[in-house]
Structure 1
Amino acid sequence: MAKKKTTKSKSETLDFSKYVRWFWIVFLGGILAVVLVFLLASWGVLGEMPDYTRLENPETNLASEIISSDDQTLGKFYFDDNRTPIGYEDLPKNLVDALIATEDVRHYDHSGIDGRGTLRAFVFLGSKGGASTISQQLARQLFIGVRDKDNTTNAIIQKIQEWVIAIRLERQYTKEEIIAMYFNIYDFGNNGDGIRSASRIYFGKEPRDLDVKESAMLVGMFKNSSLYNPRPHKNPVGVRNRRNVVLAQMAKYDYITETEKDSLQKTELDLNYSPESHREGIATYFREYLRGFMKDWAKDDKNRKPDGDKYDLYTDGLKIFTTIDSRMQQYAENAVNQHMPRLQAEFDNQNTPERNKTAPFLDLSTAEVNKLMSDGMRRGERWRILKKQGKSDKEIEASFQKPTEMRVFKWIDGDASEIDTIMKPIDSMRYYKSFLRTGMMSMDPQTGHVKAWVGGMNYRHFQYDMVNQGARQVGSTFKPFVYATAIDQLQLSPCDIFPRAPITIEANKFGNPEPWTTKNSDGNYSGEQTLKDALASSTNTITARLMNEVGPQPVVEMARKLGITSEILPVPAIALGTADISVYEMVAAYSTFANKGVYNKPVMVTRIEDKNGTILYQFVPESKDVLSEEVAYVTVNLMEGVTKAGSGGRLRSKGVDKYNQMYREVMTGYPYDLQNPIAGKTGTTQNQSDGWFMGMVPNLVTGVWVGAEDRAAHFRTITYGQGASMALPIWGLYMNACYADETLEVSKGQFEKPSNLKIDIDCTAKDEGDILDESDGVDNIQLDF
Structure 2
Amino acid sequence: MADDQQNEPENNAAPDKKPPGPADKNWPRRLKRGFTFSFTTFLVLCVLGGVFLLYLRSQALPVTKVLQTSQIFDVNGALIDTLDSGQNRKIVPISDISVYVVKATLAIEDQNFYSHPGFDVKSIARAAIVNLKSMSKVQGAGTITQQLARNLYLNHDRTWTRKIKETVYAVQMEMQLTKDQILESYLNQIYYGHSTYGIEAASQLFFGKHAKDLSLAQSAMLVGVPKGPKFYSPYYNMENAMDRKNVVLQTMAKEGFITQQEADAAKQEKLTVQPLVEKKPSQAPYFRDYIKTLAVQKLGITEDQFEQGGLNIYTTLDLKAQKIAEEQMAKQLPKESEIQGALISLDPRTGYVKAMVGGKDYGANQFNRVFATTRQPGSSFKPFVYLTALQNGFTPLSTVRSEPTVFKYDEGRQSYTPRNYNDQYENADIDMRRAIAKSDNIFAVDTILKVGPQKVIDNARKFGITGDLKPLPSLALGTYPVSPYEMVAAFSALANQGVRVEPTAIIKIEDMAGSVLYQAAPKSERVADAAPAYVLTHMMESVFEEGGTGSRVAATIKRPVAGKTGTTDTDAWMVGYTPELATAVWVGYDKGRAINTAESHLASPIFAGYTEAVLEAIPPKLFPVPEGVTTVYIDPKSGKLANEDCTTGARNEAFLSGTEPKEYCTNRAAKGKGFGSGARSWWEDMKRWWNE
The reply on whether 1:237 has 2:236 as its aligned counterpart is yes
The reply on whether 1:624 has 2:525 as its aligned counterpart is yes
**CA distance change for structure 1 residues 161 and 702 in 2, over 3 Å: closer, same or farther?**
same
- Does the 8 A contact of 1:324 with 1:451 survive in 2? no
Per the TM alignment, residue 263 of structure 1 is displaced from its structure 2 partner at its CA by 5.2
Q: Distance in 1 between matches of 2:619 and 2:469?
A: 33
The reply on whether 1:538 has 2:439 as its aligned counterpart is yes
The reply on whether 1:435 has 2:440 as its aligned counterpart is no
Which amino acid letter does the alignment assign opposite residue 484 of structure 1? Answer: L
**CA distance change for structure 1 residues 750 and 721 in 2, over 3 Å: closer, same or farther?**
closer
1:24 corresponds to: none
1:90-489 superposed matches below 5 A? 90-93=96-99, 95-96=101-102, 99-100=105-106, 103-104=109-110, 107=113, 112-113=118-119, 132-148=142-158, 154=159, 156-163=160-167, 165-187=169-191, 192-195=196-199, 219-225=223-229, 236-238=235-237, 240-241=238-239, 243-245=241-243, 247-249=245-247, 251-252=249-250, 253=252, 261-262=267-268, 264-265=270-271, 267-274=272-279, 281-297=282-298, 312-315=302-305, 324-326=315-317, 328=318, 330-344=319-333, 346=334, 348=336, 435-489=338-392
Residue aligned with 1:635, SS: helix
Deviates more, 1:462-471 or 1:82-91: 82-91
The reply on whether 1:736 has 2:613 as its aligned counterpart is yes
Q: Distance in 2 between matches of 1:196 and 1:512?
A: 75
Q: Distance in 2 between matches of 1:194 and 1:465?
A: 35
Per the TM alignment, residue 437 of structure 1 is displaced from its structure 2 partner at its CA by 2.7
**CA distance change for structure 1 residues 545 and 226 in 2, over 3 Å: closer, same or farther?**
farther
Residue aligned with 2:459, SS: helix
The reply on whether 1:59 has 2:60 as its aligned counterpart is no
| Larger RCO of the pair (alpha carbons < 8 Å, separation 6+) | 1
Q: Distance in 1 between matches of 2:217 and 2:439?
A: 61
**CA distance change for structure 1 residues 135 and 572 in 2, over 3 Å: closer, same or farther?**
same
Q: 2:629 aligns with which of 757, 767, 776?
A: 757
1:691-770 superposed matches below 5 A? 691-712=572-593, 714=595, 716-718=596-598, 721-725=601-605, 727-728=606-607, 731-732=610-611, 736-737=613-614, 748-758=620-630, 760=632, 768=649
- Does the 8 A contact of 1:597 with 1:629 survive in 2? yes
Q: Distance in 1 between matches of 2:540 and 2:104?
A: 61
Residue aligned with 2:343, SS: strand
Per the TM alignment, residue 589 of structure 1 is displaced from its structure 2 partner at its CA by 0.6
**CA distance change for structure 1 residues 86 and 335 in 2, over 3 Å: closer, same or farther?**
same
Q: Distance in 1 between matches of 2:501 and 2:236?
A: 56
Per the TM alignment, residue 516 of structure 1 is displaced from its structure 2 partner at its CA by 0.9
Q: Distance in 1 between matches of 2:208 and 2:439?
A: 47
2:639 corresponds to: none
- Does the 8 A contact of 1:637 with 1:761 survive in 2? no
Q: Distance in 2 between matches of 1:77 and 1:511?
A: 61
Q: Distance in 1 between matches of 2:416 and 2:370?
A: 35
1:572 corresponds to: 473
Q: Distance in 1 between matches of 2:348 and 2:385?
A: 21
Residue aligned with 1:314, SS: helix
Per the TM alignment, residue 533 of structure 1 is displaced from its structure 2 partner at its CA by 4.8
Q: Distance in 2 between matches of 1:284 and 1:226?
A: 33
Per the TM alignment, residue 565 of structure 1 is displaced from its structure 2 partner at its CA by 0.5
1:682 corresponds to: 565
**CA distance change for structure 1 residues 50 and 158 in 2, over 3 Å: closer, same or farther?**
farther
Per the TM alignment, residue 517 of structure 1 is displaced from its structure 2 partner at its CA by 3.2
**CA distance change for structure 1 residues 248 and 189 in 2, over 3 Å: closer, same or farther?**
closer
Residues 15-37 of structure 1 deviation map (CA, whole Å, 9 limit, x = unaligned): xxxxxxxxxxxxxx9xx99x999
**CA distance change for structure 1 residues 572 and 179 in 2, over 3 Å: closer, same or farther?**
same
Which amino acid letter does the alignment assign opposite residue 190 of structure 2? Answer: Y
Residue aligned with 1:580, SS: coil
- Does the 8 A contact of 1:518 with 1:544 survive in 2? no
Q: Distance in 2 between matches of 1:102 and 1:747?
A: 61
**CA distance change for structure 1 residues 111 and 459 in 2, over 3 Å: closer, same or farther?**
farther
- Does the 8 A contact of 1:81 with 1:193 survive in 2? yes
Per the TM alignment, residue 513 of structure 1 is displaced from its structure 2 partner at its CA by 3.5
Q: Distance in 2 between matches of 1:84 and 1:582?
A: 38
**CA distance change for structure 1 residues 321 and 473 in 2, over 3 Å: closer, same or farther?**
farther
Q: 1:590 aligns with which of 452, 477, 491?
A: 491
- Does the 8 A contact of 2:312 with 2:512 survive in 1? no
2:660 corresponds to: none
Aligned-residue CA RMSD in angstroms? Answer: 4.8
The TM-score, its normalising length taken from structure 2, stands at 0.69
Which amino acid letter does the alignment assign opposite residue 177 of structure 1? Answer: Q
Residue aligned with 1:481, SS: helix
Flag structure 2 segments of 5+ consecutive residues without an equivalent. Answer: 1-37, 253-257, 637-641, 652-692
Residues 448-490 of structure 1 deviation map (CA, whole Å, 9 limit, x = unaligned): 3334433334545423221224431212321222221222222
- Does the 8 A contact of 1:78 with 1:315 survive in 2? no
Which amino acid letter does the alignment assign opposite residue 565 of structure 2? Answer: T
| Aligned residue-pair number | 586
- Does the 8 A contact of 1:536 with 1:642 survive in 2? yes
**CA distance change for structure 1 residues 320 and 262 in 2, over 3 Å: closer, same or farther?**
closer
- Does the 8 A contact of 1:248 with 1:261 survive in 2? yes
Per the TM alignment, residue 146 of structure 1 is displaced from its structure 2 partner at its CA by 0.6
Q: Distance in 2 between matches of 1:761 and 1:246?
A: 84
**CA distance change for structure 1 residues 694 and 297 in 2, over 3 Å: closer, same or farther?**
closer
Q: Identical aligned pairs, as a percentage? A: 31
**CA distance change for structure 1 residues 200 and 479 in 2, over 3 Å: closer, same or farther?**
farther
Q: Distance in 2 between matches of 1:474 and 1:87?
A: 52
- Does the 8 A contact of 1:634 with 1:761 survive in 2? no
1:395 corresponds to: none
Q: Distance in 2 between matches of 1:205 and 1:571?
A: 63
Q: Distance in 1 between matches of 2:413 and 2:201?
A: 60
Residue aligned with 1:632, SS: helix
1:302 corresponds to: none
Flag structure 1 segments of 5+ consecutive residues without an equivalent. Answer: 1-28, 149-153, 231-235, 300-310, 349-433, 654-672, 741-745, 771-785
Q: Distance in 2 between matches of 1:763 and 1:42?
A: 99
Which amino acid letter does the alignment assign opposite residue 324 of structure 1? Answer: T
Which amino acid letter does the alignment assign opposite residue 447 of structure 2? Answer: L
Which amino acid letter does the alignment assign opposite residue 728 of structure 1? Answer: F
**CA distance change for structure 1 residues 93 and 113 in 2, over 3 Å: closer, same or farther?**
same
Residue aligned with 1:574, SS: helix
**CA distance change for structure 1 residues 681 and 196 in 2, over 3 Å: closer, same or farther?**
farther
Per the TM alignment, residue 193 of structure 1 is displaced from its structure 2 partner at its CA by 5.0
Which amino acid letter does the alignment assign opposite residue 556 of structure 1? Answer: I
Which amino acid letter does the alignment assign opposite residue 87 of structure 1? Answer: P
Per the TM alignment, residue 519 of structure 1 is displaced from its structure 2 partner at its CA by 1.8
Residue aligned with 1:489, SS: coil
Residues 553-577 of structure 1 deviation map (CA, whole Å, 9 limit, x = unaligned): 3222221111100112322233332
Per the TM alignment, residue 641 of structure 1 is displaced from its structure 2 partner at its CA by 3.0
Residue aligned with 1:692, SS: strand
